[in-house]
Amino acid sequence: MPKLRATSTISVGYDNFDVDALNARKVLLMHTPTVLTETVADTVMALVLSTARRVVEVANRVKAGEWTKSIGPDWFGNDVHHKTLGIVGMGRIGMALAQRAHAGFGMPILYNARRQHPPGRGAL
């Protein structure tokens, strides 16, 4: 493809591309690094809540007919408000998740990242 001037991917990363070869041929490589940031953070927060509240387990128990007249504490799961959330990697997605957890549920955030973020970055 000697006339190729640019290539693009709808993915966040570009590690499946031979960047050195593209650069040598002066072919522009484009990607979409922020396209899924909010979507992934929403999904992770939903999974945190679903796990804490045992949503799938309780739904299966309801389908199995175990819910008769009332439910006991074994159905409630765990609160997430004011619980500490640990995040490995505080890039765009980690920061978006931290903002949701902290602002929405008052969760203190502990994180590990390549570099320390300054206090007050974002909504934290």
Task: Centre a 10 Å sphere on the Cβ of residue 96 and count the other Cβ atoms it contains.
Answer: 21
Whether the per-residue pLDDT at 2 is higher than 60: the answer is yes
| Residue, of 34 and 101, whose pLDDT is higher | 101
pLDDT of residue 1: 74
Q: Which H or E run contains 84?
A: none
From residue 24, give the alpha-carbon distance in Å to each of 12, 19, 29, 41: 22, 8, 12, 36
Under the banding of pLDDT at 50, 70 and 90, the label for residue 120 is: low
> Could you tell me if 10 and 32 are in contact, meaning their C-beta atoms sit under 8 angstroms apart?
yes
Confidence (pLDDT) at 12 = 80
Exposed, middle or buried by CB within 10 Å (0-12, 13-18, 19+), for 5?
Answer: exposed
* Mean pLDDT of all residues belonging to the chain: 90
pLDDT in tens, 14-69: 889 999 999 999 999 998 888 899 999 999 999 999 999 999 999 999 999 988 87
Q: What is the pLDDT of residue 123?
A: 43
The answer to whether 102 touches 48, Cβ cutoff 8 Å, is no
The amino acid present at 20, given as its one-letter code, is: D
- Give me the domains of the chain, ranges plus CATH numbers: 1-35 (no CATH), 37-112 (3.40.50.720)
Mean pLDDT to the nearest integer, 92-115: 94
Give the mean model confidence (pLDDT) for residues 79-99.
95
Q: Is 2 exposed, middle or buried (0-12, 13-18, 19+ CB in 10 A)?
A: exposed
Instruction: Region of 49 please: left (phi>0), alpha (psi -120 to 50) or beta.
Output: alpha
pTM, full prediction = 0.76
